[in-house]
Amino acid sequence: MTSTARLVIVGPQGSGKGTQGARIAEALGIPAISTGDVFRANIKAGTPLGEQVKAITAAGNLVSDELTGRIVRDRLAQDDAAGGFLLDGYPRNVRQVEDLDGFLDAAGLDAVIELSVPRDESMARLALRAKEQGRTDDTDEAIAKRLSIYERETAPILDVYRERGIVDTIDGVGSLDEITARITDALAARGITRPAAV
């Protein structure tokens, strides 16, 4: 049996989705594609894209659906994503869900991992990250804005995917290893495992 692993990980800021997404992608042998990382790398390298999105991301606002969609579509067209991928940070609203549907063939996504973390826990983790990493969008104001955008615009995408029966809600409180194990168990229950080496 061949199983694809076309995955999305969704969770509020501070839920640990970047860390868990990277671990799961590694375990499954698929690329982790983080739109936030793409933007940060471009800002750091001073590319035209970076210049375009610098002020937007620093304020905690969303980059346009068109621009973000173009980046994701191009990335998904690369060879290493042919056997599967894990998207982190995309889609972030219902419009982006529709755009992503258009980038994929009719089979669509295999699973959407929802990482569930109480708001005070994610706030505490973000405050710590702000101290440790000094991300320019980890100011109190930008964090509050991103969390409210999450609740208003991103949480509703889960309803769309729930109707398709592909959401696994994972308790995001615990040790990193425990949470990774919860996710791999949930995916394995859907038949999504690392393909055996040939």
Q: Which is nearer to ligand ADP, 150 or 168 (CB)?
A: 150
Contact 44, 57 (CB under 8 A): no
**Which of 52-60, 73-81, 110-118, 171-179 is the region at the interface with ligand ADP (rule: CB under 6 A)?**
52-60
Residue 42 interacts with ligand ADP (CB under 6 A): yes or no? no
Instruction: Indicate if 92 belongs to the active site.
Output: yes
Minimum CB–partner distance for residue 38 and ligand ADP (Å): 8
Catalytic residue among 6, 23, 40, 146: 146
The DSSP secondary structure of the chain, one letter per residue, reads ----EEEEEE--TTS-HHHHHHHHHHHHT--EEEHHHHHHHHHHHT-HHHHHHHHHHHTTPPPPHHHHHHHHHHHHTSGGGTTEEEEES---SHHHHHHHHHHS-TT--SEEEEEE--HHHHHHHHHHHHHHH--TT-SHHHHHHHHHHIIIIIHHHHHHHHHTT-EEEEE--S-HHHHHHHHHHHHHHTT--PPPP-
Residue 60 interacts with ligand ADP (CB under 6 A): yes or no? yes
Contact 23, 182 (CB under 8 A): no
Residue 87 interacts with ligand ADP (CB under 6 A): yes or no? no
- Binding residue for ligand ADP (CB under 6 A) from 137, 161, 172, 180? 137
Q: Which is nearer to ligand ADP, 20 or 68 (CB)?
A: 68
Instruction: Indicate if 146 belongs to the active site.
Output: yes
Residue 20 interacts with ligand ADP (CB under 6 A): yes or no? no
Instruction: Indicate if 152 belongs to the active site.
Output: no
Residue 146 interacts with ligand ADP (CB under 6 A): yes or no? yes
**Residues identified as active-site:** 17, 92, 129, 135, 146
Which spans of this chain sit near ligand ADP (rule: CB under 6 A)?
A: 13, 35-36, 39, 56-57, 60-63, 68, 89-90, 92, 96, 137, 146
